[in-house]
């Protein structure tokens, strides 16, 4: 269903972004992937998906602009923009490193503004476009020790609504997907910090902290998030805009 469409997925060298890139490729989209990682592994993903890779650092607005220009020049897109790159840091506010705050706001929030502002003119000109932001259950509710992340994700949800209103008559939809805990390296990497911050064992963090919030007691899978992203690209999803769609095993229902 995505033949002839160009998709750019930020942070797609692992986790949710990679699953979204794979799902789009399976539907026939041309892809630009982005993100850090082992060069050989990135080469493998590029050839698997027939994708172009741009290593732009999402904390650098000039690098984002170069990536967006390259996507336009080399692929003629994006028709579909997925703002997915994100990082996390877990610490109480009074010992939260200011440089981590700045990095999280830059990568998880400001990058969404920068990619979107560069992508919208061509989408409007074509009369078709999809912007899909990976927000989080933390765009709706908070958890202690995640001040920057929660602030950034609430920001993404607000930005999504504003952008959707601005392009509502142009054939462009803007939505966010808000997963609960998805089993990726981002979640795995925050286990040691949460163990330290709360004085817990690994098992306690997994069961009493992470899945404590998720009534299904199951991690969301990257493939489930990707399937929703594909649905949002369908013509049948043309009236879904400005929404924040939860996929959190019931977390935010509680
Ligand atoms: P991940 O760590 O597996 O992937 C993050 C991706 O972002 C990687 O490709 C990484 O290289 C890239 N990235 C990191 N910093 C970057 C930078 N400065 N510039 C460019 N790329 C950069 O994590 P994930 O769990 O797949 O997370 C993807 C998104 O999903 C994030 O926005 C995250 O906040 C969100 N999310 C994750 C969960 C979860 O439980 N895993 C839940 C809700 C939301």
**Which ligand 1 atom is at minimum distance from the Cα of 13?**
9
Structural domain for 89, as ranges: 6-180+221-242
Q: Give the C-alpha separation, 30 to 26, whole Å.
A: 10
Name the CA dihedral angle for 185, 186, 191, 193, rounded to a multiple of 10 degrees. Answer: 130
ipTM of the prediction greater than 0.90, yes or no? yes
As separate numbers, helices (DSSP H) first and strands (DSSP E) second, the chain gives: 9, 7
The per-residue pLDDT for 37 is 97
pLDDT band with cut points at 50, 70 and 90 for residue 233: very high
Give 129-161 pLDDT, tens digit per residue. Answer: 999 999 999 999 999 999 999 999 999 999 999
Average pLDDT over residues 107-117: 99
- Separation of 132 CA from ligand 1 center, angstroms? 14
Nearest CA to ligand 1 atom 36: 136
Please check the confidence at residue 186 and state whether its pLDDT lies above 80. Answer: no
Average pLDDT over residues 174-192: 91
pLDDT band with cut points at 50, 70 and 90 for residue 121: very high
Please check whether residue 34 lies inside any domain of the structure. yes
Please check whether residue 166 lies inside any domain of the structure. yes
The per-residue pLDDT for 210 is 85
Per-chain mean pLDDT for the chain: 96
Average pLDDT over residues 94-114: 98
pLDDT band with cut points at 50, 70 and 90 for residue 102: very high
Please check the confidence at residue 209 and state whether its pLDDT lies above 80. Answer: yes
**Ligand 1 pocket at CB < 6 A:** 11-17, 34-37, 57-59, 84-87, 107-108, 134, 136, 179, 181-182, 184-187
Please check whether residue 189 lies inside any domain of the structure. no
Cis omega (within 30 of 0) for bond into 78 = yes
Please check whether residue 196 lies inside any domain of the structure. no
Q: What is the CATH number for 20?
A: 3.40.50.720
pTM, entire model:
0.96
- Separation of 16 CA from ligand 1 center, angstroms? 7
Please check whether residue 186 lies inside any domain of the structure. no
Average pLDDT over residues 29-50: 98
Number of domains in the chain: 1
Structure tokens at 94: 């009074």
Question: Which residues, in sequence order, are CB contacts of 232 under 8 Å at separation 6+?
Answer: 130, 132, 173, 175, 177, 240
Please check whether residue 208 lies inside any domain of the structure. no
The per-residue pLDDT for 71 is 98
In a 3-state reduction of DSSP, which class is residue 133?
strand
- Separation of 125 CA from ligand 1 center, angstroms? 30
pLDDT band with cut points at 50, 70 and 90 for residue 31: very high
- Separation of 1 CA from ligand 1 center, angstroms? 26
Please check the confidence at residue 185 and state whether its pLDDT lies above 90. Answer: no
Select the more confidently predicted residue: 210 or 67.
Answer: 67
Please check the confidence at residue 208 and state whether its pLDDT lies above 90. Answer: no
Please check whether residue 188 lies inside any domain of the structure. no
Nearest CA to ligand 1 atom 33: 86
Least confident of 17-21, 125-129, 184-188, 249-253: 184-188
Question: Which residues, in sequence order, are CB contacts of 59 under 8 Å at separation 6+?
Answer: 103, 106, 107, 110, 111
The per-residue pLDDT for 189 is 86
- State the DSSP H helix or E strand holding residue 152, giving kind and residue range, or none if neither: helix 147-166
Q: pLDDT over 90 for what percent of the chain? A: 90
Pocket test for ligand 1, best of 9, 10, 14, 15 (most atoms within 8 A of CB): 15
CB 159 within 8 Å of CB 202: no
Please check whether residue 200 lies inside any domain of the structure. no
């Amino acid at each position: 269903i995505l033949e002839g469409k160009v998709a750019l997925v930020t942070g797609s060298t692992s986790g949710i972004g990679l699953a979204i890139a794979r799902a789009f490729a399976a539907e026939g989209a041309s892809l630009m992937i982005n993100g850090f990682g082992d060069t050989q592994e990135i080469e493998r993903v590029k050839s698997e998906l027939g994708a172009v890779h741009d290593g732009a650092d999402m904390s650098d607005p000039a690098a984002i602009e170069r990536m967006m220009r390259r996507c336009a020049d080399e692929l003629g897109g994006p028709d579909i923009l997925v703002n997915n790159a994100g990082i996390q840091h877990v610490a109480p506010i009074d010992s939260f490193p200011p440089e981590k705050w700045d990095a999280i706001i830059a990568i998880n929030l400001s990058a969404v503004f920068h990619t979107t502002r560069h992508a919208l003119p061509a989408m409007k000109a074509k009369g078709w476009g999809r912007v899909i932001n990976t927000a989080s259950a933390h765009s709706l509710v908070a958890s202690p020790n995640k001040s920057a992340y929660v602030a950034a994700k609430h920001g993404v949800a607000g930005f999504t609504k504003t952008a959707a209103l601005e392009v509502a008559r142009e054939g462009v939809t803007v939505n966010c997907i808000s997963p609960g805990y998805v089993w990726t390296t981002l979640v795995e990497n925050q286990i040691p910090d949460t163990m330290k911050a709360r004085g817990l064992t690994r098992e306690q963090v997994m069961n009493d902290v992470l899945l404590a919030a998720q009534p299904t007691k199951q991690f969301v899978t990257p493939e489930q998030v990707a399937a929703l992203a594909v649905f949002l690209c369908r013509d049948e999803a043309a009236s879904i805009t400005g929404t924040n769609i939860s996929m959190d095993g019931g977390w935010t229902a509680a």
